[in-house]
Chain A
């Protein structure tokens, strides 16, 4: 329950502007994060294992037709709204583009406090000025910023408790995703692979912001001499935490630049385009798997690792499953905090590789591998079979729900030179459709162990929003061109309900309950990478109106 305090005195600055405060607030602990209550949504994907699953079951296929809006909140921003709200006992925290942050009463939508960052004028980001959510721990809320700071707010008042500069935004380091709490450490990644940053993970004391460890993701010796310093491998999507082995599983992005004539085919460029297993206490990279060694396609490996148990050789094995940019759904054994390749199956059209070898290493097809001055066509496009927008896993159906896209690209390497703050891509490209296919977006229900497709729903335009699945037997996601927020039957894929929102839905839906009433919330507010990068394919969403609104639904 929330008790709204009195309005603060006038005269507060734009940054940290506060209207009211939270009367009572439940401190977030390691134990609560490890086993979150069904009523709450304490991390961007609902748990530290990135399931995107709500254990609430009041909204079902039988009553979802009655789902209707109970409140909405407009952010005033017209860029991409990709955040997942966080809900802790009736208090919601939701971030918006340009590092706005709102604390809202989760039952009424009333504003408790808000923060609007005064960002420098010369902020540059590759893929829109998005923020994908915040983290909560103790009585604080944590947000990474486009000028590469990490901020800690008092959850009750919105007052900034500490502000750490993580890196130099003038070198185009940005932070767009939520930090991860891992064994009491606050861990953040960084964005900037199109500008020649050097990727890293940094852990901090959540109380003070003091740095505990910092681990770089580019390795000397795996890059041509010296180029690891601008070698990319950014860590721009939130990882997962395995409390059992105290291991952080985190993905890394493309090497910078995309192509480089200094590279030999034997240069793997570790740990770009990889999944790394990191010791939560020391930051040591214990083990890794490289999806795309010496990547030339911009096939980032950042997509969310989902920690589940799967059957392998007749035994239940702790696993990581992840739908990767290169069009393969991967499965790894994570026993003992490691990352051992088990298998991978195509989930979209793939021409970039001939296949994968027994260790999961791609077998290049020279006809589809670009190089400096060499033009090829490859599928999927660099925007991936799936991009940042997270899949969901249901322990009920044992299925993974992947918001995939079918598209290809013409791509050619180009000479480029590093200059701090400037784009460092080294490629020219244009997206195009998969021949003889009349859709791009495809929401798929897949067995994560075998890759077997159980059902799919296709959409003419690309999907760019996250997926939620619930114990009520539902799957929720949104569309870009049609502006719909849709509920499907988790078992059959049948479309059961939809609501026409104000804009394209590229947020991450969540579910929570207050006083026994279940709610579903999602951001509608088109933007993100498609309008910036998809070229002719962006025409599919050219008429999608802009403007961010958080929609909250319930069955009344």
Chain B
């Protein structure tokens, strides 16, 4: 059967239907179907400021845009900073409850979460875990092994020895050519340490991951797209759904990019990731807030 990727499928389906299969006879990952998921990031629920006059309206618009996609994603993942931090534990939990209520509007089978430092650093992930479960975990989906790392619950931006040992044990249980996708909030590499855009012991995680040739990392935190390679590992950051941040080192302080009334929601958006496990390939499509 001829190979059709998801985009070809959608094009054909628009003309009256098509059979969708990515099975490649003889391929090591022949059983793995193509699929896609959506990454949303840095929603900062609870933020108030001129950087986003529609602070409470942006996430619902993005959710509506995801729900309007022509084919529902296999899952949606929020890569941290779900809420904007507050020192008041009661208010923190209120924001998490409100965020969770918003996310329930997503018309997908599964929604996954990871914490950002705004969610977890001030109480080492306590409130986050009450609402969203473990701060680091793994799951498998259609031939891809997903690893969620927590580099935020330690306020000093460390994974820590215990989590690194856990990662090492998990990787040792995977075949060398396993398709592995890592989610983290902060970059695992030193993107711009002068703005704290790094993970203090991230290099140790990258070294462990380097033993596998098919690894991709998706992260948030920096509120803009960035694409970087460490050896064979690609690292992709996603846009925010609250306010954009400036390019690394482009200005003295990392203050948010000002809201432009003539171009509302500029620099904000979410990402579609089409996974082709048989080819260990990931096609990224960046989407704006207000369109599906």
A and B: bona fide binding partners: no
| Interface residues in chain B, defined as those with a beta carbon under 8 Å from any beta carbon in chain A | none
